[in-house]
Amino acid sequence: MIRRRIFQAMFASAVALCAFSGQASAEALDDILAAKVIRIAVPTDYPPFGSIGADMQPQGLDIDMARLIGKELGVRTELVAVSSANRIPYLQSKKVDLVISTLGKNPDREKVIDFSGAYAPFFMGVFGVKSATVTKPEELSGKTVGATRGALEEQELSKIAPADVTIKRYEDNNATVAAYISGQVDIFASGNAVAAVIAERNAARAPDLKFIIKNSPCFIGLNKDEPKLLAKVNEIIAKARASGESEKMSQTWLKAPLPPGF
Amino acid sequence: MIYKLQFADLLPYWDVLVRGFVFTIALTFVSTLSGVMVGTLGASARTFGPRWLSALVSAYVELMRNTPFLVQLFFVYFGLPAAGVKLTETQAAFLAMTINLGAYSTEIIRAGIEATPRGVIEAGISLAMTRLQLLRYVILKPAFQKVWPALASQIIIVMLGSSVVSQISAEDLTYAANFIQSRNFRAFESYFVVAFAYLMLAILARAILRALGHRLFPKA
């Protein structure tokens, strides 16, 4: 008899616990609005998306996006610095409400978290000096292109470039950048973040995007089954796009307009 | 866990390996010729030249012998374009290897020259030899005889050191290994084959240099 009563009590409390946690996850947006604070995971080791500025404060495109979301929701933004390895665990363990950390979409990630619409461009492309007239892989014919050996964009470029393109394969990203800045190559393949950093530090040889090799825009990550939060975040992104705020962020941090079709 | 070697994965890249092999041989051959030439001139200038020239040569030798080869290479390839001198990666590799070997061989050959007793040179003068004859037969030939093994070792060291030219995208043997393993992820096999190729090259170069030494500078 006593045994049975203990079992009933345990069962009841288990049910109550489930109901409680279920409620908490379904109302993330309400929780945020009630607490008047949104916790957002951002990078601090990946300029120009997120880095620590001279004033010791985080800065970058992801940081601006995070602050914009806080502002639109009318709550305080609490930035949480994460690395690219732990950003999804931070979200899953509910230490943060959103992840804004150059997160790309792939099927494995889509199994565990939800994604908003794209908020910033992120791509591998071929960049070069303004005078180089190249708009597609075929037009690289006879030209010399620098790339980092073994990097995704180098492997893709090796596949799509015509046979008479000379691909100079450097040991690492820094050597590729040095080769471009020193004028050893006028065209190179890299990510848009790298091109932005070059433009920032070396305006005289600011690289122009010639064409995109592989597109993998950034999405905001959030926990599954948060329809209200997802809808709100998407609304904010759409509004930023329409008002020119996204374009401004791209110009400020990526030193380039949003690519066509973004 | 026992790693299973799969050399067959390298076969599709045999042309990259062969090109790298040929490049390393050519690079070593040409920069050995030019480097030893620089060394001979440098050693002669340092021993017999006017004081300013001697000082200049020793500054060059100290600069080259006390900085890493990789830094010299980066200086030539990435640094010189800022001064308006733009060299391709192949030219930069040749130049860096020449000035590097030139500095070391200056020191080696100078040691040989200084080991020549003063009396021998005076004997040459008393035979009414011209300065050029004196330098060639009395000073340089015995000097090379003495230091040839040391010089040969230095040439091998420079050849093995040439592996870093892959850093500036020159397509040598090491580049071939790096390239292949970035494609098929068979790092062990790629570096195994290339290490073996370097070993063979070094043994071959040593044999050739020894034969050359016997022929050019026979022991009296």
Q: What is the pLDDT of residues A97-123, one digit of tens each?
A: 999 999 988 888 899 999 999 999 999
Write out the residue range of the structural domain in which residue B73 sits. Answer: 7-216
Query: Quick check: is B63 in a domain?
Result: yes
- Which helix or strand (DSSP H or E) is residue B102 part of? helix B89-114
Q: Show the tokens assigned to A8.
A: 């009933």
Q: In chain A, positions 141-170, which contact chain B (CB-CB < 8 Å)?
A: 146, 149-150, 154-155, 168-170
Query: Quick check: is B2 in a domain?
Result: no
Amino acid type, A6: I
The residues that bridge with A99 in the sheet, in sequence order, are: A41, A221
Contact residues for A109 (Cβ-Cβ < 8 A; gap 6+): A88, A103, A115, A221
β-pairing, A45-46 vs A37-43, is unpaired
Query: Quick check: is B90 in a domain?
Result: yes
Residues A27, A33, A37, A38, CA torsion sign: positive
Q: What is the pLDDT of residues B21-52, one digit of tens each?
A: 999 999 999 999 999 999 999 999 999 999 99
Query: Quick check: is B1 in a domain?
Result: no
The residues that bridge with A118 in the sheet, in sequence order, are: A219
Please tell me what DSSP assigns to residue B83: G
Query: Quick check: is B205 in a domain?
Result: yes
Distance CA A199, CA A11 (A): 62
pLDDT for the residue numbered A25: 46
Query: Quick check: is B162 in a domain?
Result: yes
The beta-carbon neighbor of B86 closest among A171, A178, A183 is: A183
Q: Show the tokens assigned to B139.
A: 């000073």
The beta-carbon neighbor of A168 closest among B81, B86, B89 is: B89
- Which helix or strand (DSSP H or E) is residue B137 part of? none
Instruction: Assess whether pLDDT exceeds 90 at residue A47.
Output: no
Distance CA B137, CA A73 (A): 91
The structural domains of chain A, ordered by start, are 23-122+217-254 (3.40.190.10), 123-215 (3.40.190.10)
Q: Show the tokens assigned to B73.
A: 């290479």
Q: Show the tokens assigned to A89.
A: 């665990």
Interface of B with A (CB under 8 A): 74, 77-79, 81-82, 86, 89, 166-169, 175, 178-179, 182-183
Identify whether the C-beta of residue B168 lies closer than 8 Å to the C-beta of residue B92.
yes
CA distances from B69 to A156, A179, B81, B172 (A): 33, 18, 18, 16
Q: What is the pLDDT of residues A170-224, one digit of tens each?
A: 988 889 999 999 999 999 999 998 999 899 888 889 999 999 999 889 999 999 9
Q: Which residue of B has its CA nearest to A185?
A: B88
The beta-carbon neighbor of A169 closest among B78, B86, B179 is: B179
Task: Put the strands of the sheet holding A144-148 in their side by side order.
Answer: A166-170, A144-148, A187-191, A123-128, A208-215
pLDDT for the residue numbered B181: 87
Identify whether the C-beta of residue B149 lies closer than 8 Å to the C-beta of residue B217.
no
Cα atoms in the Cβ-side hemisphere of radius 13 Å centred on B167: 20
What backbone torsions phi and psi does residue A188 show, to the nearest 5 degrees?
-150, 160
Distance CA A53, CA A133 (A): 36
- The CATH number assigned to the domain holding B53 equals 1.10.3720.10
DSSP string, B191-216: HHHHHHHHHHHHHHHHHHHHHHHHHH
Measured torsion, CA atoms of residues A131, A133, A135, A139, in degrees rounded to the nearest 10: -140
Residues B191, B192, B195, B196, CA torsion sign: negative
Query: Quick check: is B41 in a domain?
Result: yes
Distance CA B159, CA B145 (A): 22
DSSP string, A98-152: EEEEEEPP-HHHHHHEEEEEEEE--EEEEEE-TT---SSGGGGTT-EEEEETTSH
Distance CA B31, CA B161 (A): 12
Distance CA A196, CA A181 (A): 13
DSSP string, A176-210: HHHHHHTTS-SEEEEEHHHHHHHHHH-GGGPPEEE
Distance from CA of B64 to the nearest CA of A (A): 22
Instruction: Assess whether pLDDT exceeds 80 at residue A62.
Output: yes
Would the CB atoms of B168 and A150 count as touching at under 8 Å? Answer: no
The domain tally of chain B equals 1
pLDDT bucket at A2, cuts 50 / 70 / 90: low
Amino acid type, A179: A
Q: What is the pLDDT of residues B60-86, one digit of tens each?
A: 999 999 999 999 999 999 999 989 899
Would the CB atoms of A171 and B179 count as touching at under 8 Å? Answer: no
Instruction: Assess whether pLDDT exceeds 70 at residue A12.
Output: no
Percentage, residues of chain B above pLDDT 70:
99
Distance CA B219, CA B212 (A): 12
Would the CB atoms of A179 and B78 count as touching at under 8 Å? Answer: yes
β-pairing, A98-103 vs A218-223, is antiparallel
Query: Quick check: is B170 in a domain?
Result: yes
First to last CA, chain A: 67
Q: Is the pTM of this model over 0.90?
A: no
